[in-house]
Structure 1
Amino acid sequence: MGNCLDSSAKVDTAQSSHATSGSGVPKFSIRTDRSSAPSSRAIQSFSDKSNASSEILSSPNLKALTFNELKNSTRNFCPDSFLGEGGFGYVFKGWIDEYNFSATKPGSGMAVAVKKLKSERFQGHKKWLTEVNYFGQLHHPNLVKLIGYCLEGENRLLVYQFMPKGSLENHLFKREPQPLSWEIRIKVATGAARGLCFLHEAKSPVIYRDFKASNILLDAEFNAKLADYGLAKAGPTGDRTHVSTQVSGTHGYAAPEYVTKGRLTAKSDVYSFGVVLLELLSGRRVVDRTKVDTQQILVDWAIPYLRDKRCLFRIMDTKLEGQYPQKGAYTVATLALKCLSAEAKFRPKMAEVLTTLEQLVNPKKTRFVI
C-alpha cells in the first residue's frame, strides 16, 4: 500500500447533477455548502492546458496518449466500438499495442476501454482529474487498471483495461443467456469487498462514494473490479469523524446520514455494499418503478424478510431456481441487514464484511489479505 494517494493531494471534486445513471436509476446532487463552488482560478486552469497538466499527480504507471492515437484505436469512436454511457461520458472499445501504446487493428494488440468526456464543463474536468489521480496512484487486483489518459486541448479521455464480462448490473438485470450462479455471486461480492477494503484501509483512506452494480466490472473469470472514481473522496483525518460534502450519487444506494446531512464516512460505502448484496440475493434493481408500490424500493421491501430465515426464500432471485445453500443465503442476508443499519455506528467495517464473505468461499479461512 505504499502507492496510496497522499493525503495532501487535492483531488476533491464537486459534482454536477446527472439526470440518470448508466442503469437508468435517477442520480442526484444536492449542494450543502458553498466551498465546493469552482473558483475563477480553477476554471481558468480547465481552459489552460499547462495548468491542467500540473494538476495531474505523477505516476510511472500512467501513459499520456494523444487524441489521434485514441481516435485511431477506436476507429474514430465509431458506433461499432461503443460500449456504454455513464456519468463521465461515452465509453468505446479500442485496440492498442501493449508496448508502445500505438493504435492497432481490431483484434490485434491489447483491448482497452476508452472513456471520452461528454462536455467541456468545469465539473466534468474535475471528475476526470479525480479519476486520473486516484486510479493513477492506487493499484489493486480488485480495482480496474488505468492505463493512460489524454489531455489535449479541450479533450479529456481515460484508457482502462477492457473488462470482457461487462458490469454486474448487466448480468443481474438484463437478459443474459446464463444467469449468475450462487457461487459466482459470492465470488463477485467478495472481490468487490476486497476492493473497498483496500480503499478504506489505505495509508490515506479513500471513500468510494458511488458503489453500485454498474460500477462493478467483471473480467473473463468473473473477478470483480471497481470502476469509476469520479465521486471518490479522501477520508476524514485527525480528529474528524466524517467528511462534510454535497450529496452526489445514485438514488437508493446512498446511506441515510449522507443523504440527509451530507456526512460521509467509510460506513457510507458499507451501506451501499449492503444494497448490492440485496441485489445479488434478489436479482432486483435498487429502484424498480415497474413493481407495485410496496416493492418499488428494494431496501424497504426486502428488510422485513431478511430478519426471518423462514421467509427469506420470498426475496431470493427466481433465476437461481432454488440452487443456493440456505445457510449461506441466510448468512449473506444477515450481513446485508447489518450493512443497512440506519445508524452508521452499527454497521460493520468492510474488513468484517470481507471476513464473513471469505468464510463462505473457504470456511477454513479466518483472515483476509488486501
Structure 2
Amino acid sequence: MEMDFGRLEGVKMPDFTDWKRGVDDAKACKDKCLKNCSCVAHAYVSGIGCMNRGGDLMDIEEFSSGGENLYIRLADSELGGKRGIKAIIIVVMVVLGLLIIVLCAYIYRSWTTKQRESGRQSREQACRNSLDEDILLRRMVHETEGPELPMLDFRIIANSTDHFSHANKLGEGGFGPVYKGNLQSGVEIAVKRLSKSSGQGLEEFKNEVKLISKLQHRNLVRILGCCIEGEEKLLIYEYMPNKSLDASLFDPSQQSVLDWAKRFHIVEGIARGLLYLHQDSRLKIIHRDLKASNILLDEGLQPKISDFGMARIFGGDQNLARTNRVVGTYGYMSPEYAMEGRFSEKSDVFSFGVLLLEIVSGKRNSGSFHHEDSLSLLGYAWLLWNQNKVLEMIDPGLGGTFSQSEVLRCIHIGLLCVQQFAIDRPTMASVVFMLGSDIANFPTPKQPAFTERRNPLESDSSQRSRKICSVNEVTVTIIQGG
C-alpha cells in the first residue's frame, strides 16, 4: 500500500520521541521515518533536529498557539487520494491533448479542402474569363470586320508558317514574335503572334484590331485578317519583302540600295501616311512610336507605316492628351511626351523630324557626333546649321548623286519638326506642303530638343510611374521580310 504523511499543525510532541542525530533537514527526516516500518510520525524542529515516533500517539496535545508541525504516516486513501488525483489529472491532460490534435487536424483538413476548392474555382473562373475574353475579342473583331478583315483559321496560319518555325521568324517585340507565312494560294503574309506571357501584347492586339482595320492608305501597312482560337491570337498582314527601313538605312552593305531619289520618295510617303492619320482618316490617330524600324518597304520600296499597338484615337475636337504610361522609343520621343506624358499630333511630328534627319544622314539619332561624342544627331545638325555647313551631314554613301535643293529642304524641315516646343513645330499638312515648296519661304528653326546625347535610363522621363519604351532602335514590334 502506498503511504504518505498527513500534517498536524501547532501540537505538542509526543513523549518518548526518538531523536535522530545527523539529520539536517525536514526531507531527510521524512525519508528516515519512511525507511523505518515502526515509525508512525515525524517532525523536524529547527534548532533541535529530527524526531521519529514509534507506537501509539497517545500523548499528543494540540495548542491554540505555538507548537510544532507533526507529520503522521497515513495510507494514500486517507490523504484524499492525492496520487489518484494526479493520475486523473494526467489522464485528463492526455485526453485534452488528443482532442486538441484531432481539432487541429480537422481545421487543417478543412482549410486544405477549402484551398483546393478555391483553386479549382479560380481555375474555372480563369477559364471562364479566358472564354469570355475570347468572346469579347471575337465580338470586337466582328463589329469591325469587313471585307478587309476576315477571321482566319488557326490551322491554316500555322501551316503557312511551318508551325511557327524559327526559320520563318522575322522579328520580335512587345506584342510577340512575327513570322513569315505562305498561304496555299501563293500569297505571302506576315503573322504577328501574341506572346502568351505579354500583358502589353494583348492591349496592343486589341488596339491594332480596333484601329488598323478602319484605316486604308497606300502608306499604311494593310491587315489581311486575324485569328482568335483559345490562347492563340494572331494578326495577319501583307508581307513586306524589303523589310523595315532601318535594315537598309543603317546597314553599310545595304545603303547603296537607297539612293537619294528613293529616300526622298520614302520621306514623302511617310509624310502622306502621317497626314492621313492626323487629318484625312475617319479617326484622328496619334501613332506614338514612329521610327525607322516601324516603316516597312514593299517590293517597290513604297513606305508603309506599321505597328499601331501604341496608337491612340483623338476625338474630333481633341488636340492634346496626357498619360502616366509613356510608351515608345527614346530618341524619337518629343520632350513634352518623354518628360510629362503629354502627346498630340506634334509628338508624331517630332518623331518624323528625327526620322527625316536619319534618312538624310544615314546615321541613328542614338549615335554620337562631334565634340568628344557629346552631341546627338539633332545637336550635330543644329551645329552644322549655325556654321552654314549643313551639307556635311549628308550620308557619304550617296556620293554626289543627290539633289542639293531637296537635301537642304529636308534638313530644314527636319530641324523645324524637332524644335523644343510643340507650338513651334509645323503640322504634317505643312510638312507635306513644304516638301514640294521652295525653301526660301520656310520659317527659321529654333534650337532642337535633346541636342546632347544622354543615357535614356538617367533621363527625367525614366522616373515616371510606368513606362514601356525601347532605347532607340530596340524594336517594340517588327514586321519584316526574311
Partner of 1:51: 136
AA partner of residue 74 (structure 1): T
Measure the CA separation in 1 of the matches of 2:187 and 2:293.
Answer: 23
Measure the CA separation in 2 of the matches of 1:208 and 1:278.
Answer: 19
Measure the CA separation in 2 of the matches of 1:357 and 1:44.
Answer: 51
Tell me if structure 2 keeps the 8 A contact 1:341–1:347.
yes
Taking structure 1 as reference, are residues 119 and 45 closer, same or farther at Cα in structure 2, changes over 3 Å only? closer
Measure the CA separation in 2 of the matches of 1:118 and 1:290.
Answer: 38
Measure the CA separation in 2 of the matches of 1:132 and 1:293.
Answer: 46
Partner of 1:84: 171
- 1:88 Cα deviation (Å)? 1.8
What are the superposed Cα offsets for residues 95-128 of structure 1, whole Å, 9 maximum, x if unpaired?
A: 12xxxxxxx2xxx611111111223433211101
Q: What is the aligned counterpart of 2:389 among 311, 316, 320?
A: 311
Partner of 2:34: none
Greater alpha carbon shift after TM alignment, 201-210 vs 142-151: 201-210
1:118-137 matched pairs, under 5 angstroms: 118-137=195-214
Taking structure 1 as reference, are residues 234 and 83 closer, same or farther at Cα in structure 2, changes over 3 Å only? same
AA partner of residue 394 (structure 2): M
Partner of 2:418: 340
Match of 1:112, SS state, is strand
Measure the CA separation in 1 of the matches of 2:182 and 2:436.
Answer: 36
Q: Considering only aligned residues, what root-mean-square deviation do their CA atoms show, in Å?
A: 2.4
- 1:55 Cα deviation (Å)? 3.1
Q: What is the aligned counterpart of 1:158 among 235, 238, 246?
A: 235
Greater alpha carbon shift after TM alignment, 336-345 vs 280-289: 280-289
AA partner of residue 348 (structure 1): P
Tell me if structure 1 keeps the 8 A contact 2:178–2:193.
yes
AA partner of residue 136 (structure 1): S
Answering whether residue 265 of structure 2 is matched by residue 187 of structure 1, we say yes
Q: How many residues align?
A: 308
Match of 2:182, SS state, is strand
Q: What is the aligned counterpart of 2:314 among 217, 220, 235?
A: 235
- 1:76 Cα deviation (Å)? 1.0
Measure the CA separation in 2 of the matches of 1:218 and 1:296.
Answer: 30
- 1:64 Cα deviation (Å)? 0.8
TM-score (norm: length of structure 1): 0.78
1:22-37 matched pairs, under 5 angstroms: none
Q: What is the aligned counterpart of 1:198 among 276, 294, 299?
A: 276
Higher helix share: 2
Taking structure 1 as reference, are residues 247 and 273 closer, same or farther at Cα in structure 2, changes over 3 Å only? same
| Percent of residue pairs bearing the same amino acid type | 36
Measure the CA separation in 2 of the matches of 1:347 and 1:335.
Answer: 9
TM-score (norm: length of structure 2): 0.60
Partner of 1:221: 300
What are the superposed Cα offsets for residues 186-230 of structure 1, whole Å, 9 maximum, x if unpaired?
A: 000100111100000134311011110001111111111111000
Tell me if structure 1 keeps the 8 A contact 2:369–2:376.
no
1:1-370 matched pairs, under 5 angstroms: 44=129, 48-56=133-141, 57-60=143-146, 61-96=148-183, 104=184, 109-177=186-254, 178-201=256-279, 202-238=281-317, 240-245=318-323, 246-288=325-367, 294=373, 297-308=376-387, 310-359=388-437
Flag the structure with larger Rg: 2
Q: Report runs of 4+ in structure 1 exceeding 4 Å deviation.
A: 43-47, 289-293
Tell me if structure 2 keeps the 8 A contact 1:295–1:301.
no
What are the superposed Cα offsets for residues 219-263 of structure 1, whole Å, 9 maximum, x if unpaired?
A: 11111111100000012543x441111211001101001111111
Taking structure 1 as reference, are residues 304 and 286 closer, same or farther at Cα in structure 2, changes over 3 Å only? same
Measure the CA separation in 2 of the matches of 1:292 and 1:338.
Answer: 23
AA partner of residue 378 (structure 2): V
- 1:293 Cα deviation (Å)? 5.2
Measure the CA separation in 2 of the matches of 1:217 and 1:228.
Answer: 10
Gap runs ≥5 in structure 2:
1-124, 439-482
Taking structure 1 as reference, are residues 66 and 300 closer, same or farther at Cα in structure 2, changes over 3 Å only? same
- 1:46 Cα deviation (Å)? 8.1
Tell me if structure 1 keeps the 8 A contact 2:221–2:237.
yes
AA partner of residue 250 (structure 1): T
- 1:314 Cα deviation (Å)? 2.1
- 1:65 Cα deviation (Å)? 1.2
Higher relative contact order (CA 8 A, sep 6+): 1
Measure the CA separation in 2 of the matches of 1:335 and 1:307.
Answer: 15
Greater alpha carbon shift after TM alignment, 295-304 vs 62-71: 295-304
- 1:179 Cα deviation (Å)? 3.8
Tell me if structure 2 keeps the 8 A contact 1:116–1:157.
yes
Match of 2:235, SS state, is strand
